[in-house]
Amino acid sequence: MRQTRSGAIKAGLYILTVSMLIYVVVYMSTPYMINQPGTAESVKPMVSIQSGDSQEEGTFMLTTVSVSYANLWMLATAKLHRHAEVVRKEPDRNEREYETQQRYFMNSSQSNAILAAYNKANVGYNIVSQYVFVIGLSKDNKPKGDFQSGDIIRQVDGQEVTRFDQLGSLLQAKKAGDQVAVVLERDGKQTQQQVELVPIKTTDGSQRAGLGVTVGELRKVQPTDSTKEVTFVDTRIGGPSAGLMFTLEIYNQLTEGDLTKGHRIAGTGTIAEDGTVGEIGGVQFKIVASEREKAEIFFVPEANYKTAKAKADEIGSNMKLVPVKHLDDALNYLASLPEKAS
């Protein structure tokens, strides 16, 4: 009997030790993230226009960086991956806030891509604000209400809120300590709460009253010709860096002919309404992803060219790197590109 009890205790301790080890190595969080090459994906399946020209023998590809919250096992093995990079997480930012922020950047990027393409193709449009939502919670003056990243702010003191400036106007005459009624929408359900306003520092050093959250505004671009409305598929990809490639695909569908001319064209870069292409992060990972997908051409923001060229040389890539500062730079290059032989 004693031997049986002793064996059971040993077995129990063994199971407990293994369970704790698995938890520490696999599940316990660390203050690090791991960046690696992500994907180079065709943009065409993500974008549709009812009256658009769907002819496209080649492909425009957006590129991504794979970002993972690291556990101990991932940290230990990261050095074995040639293109992996370990970075510290931003303090006090949780995974939900990060994902909400990335989705907001992507939505803004898509809106700007539509605007840049419409402006270039001379398509008339109106901009409609849809709602204001919570991106994250203030680290300096934490909110005194129940807020989460992704919450939609529907009303403040009985007034509907659809634009960022409306929220500012409603709180302008308030002071810290005042109570306001806030209607939030979370996961499709609306709730109302009384929220005490907190002091918020402004850029000029003064203070104003606020909710203690950072917010974003979701806008929709509506063309005057409804058949030219752009629809995006939800891809779960985040960030602003696909702007240029979205714009090229949208413009390609809005105009006759095929801008790709049969080539596999990858790229990256933010886009502004006026077509300005902006710098991005992680270009070295996107070069690797594009090489894996046999891209022939890579559009890179001029500010990222040196880093992109160094990575392309390191991996022995034959991709043609084309530095761009504006949408016109990319379009002019494509105009001079010969048709690819079948």
Write out the catalytic residue numbers: 241, 286
Instruction: Kindly report each contact of residues 309-312 with a partner whose C-beta sits within 8 Å and lies 24 or more positions away, as own/partner.
Output: 310/284, 311/283, 311/284, 311/287, 312/287
Q: Which of 340, 240, 331 is nearest to 295 (CA)?
A: 340
Nearest Cα to Cα of residue 267 among 58, 31, 41: 41
CA distance 71 to 28: 6
Kindly state the greatest CA–CA separation across the chain.
Answer: 88
- 227: which 2 tokens? 């058949």
The answer to whether residues 47 and 229 touch, using CB atoms and an 8 Å cutoff, is: no
- Dist. CA 125–CA 222, nearest whole Å: 5
Nearest to 313 by CA among 288, 281, 338: 288
Helix axes 243-254, 327-336, angle to 10 degrees: 60
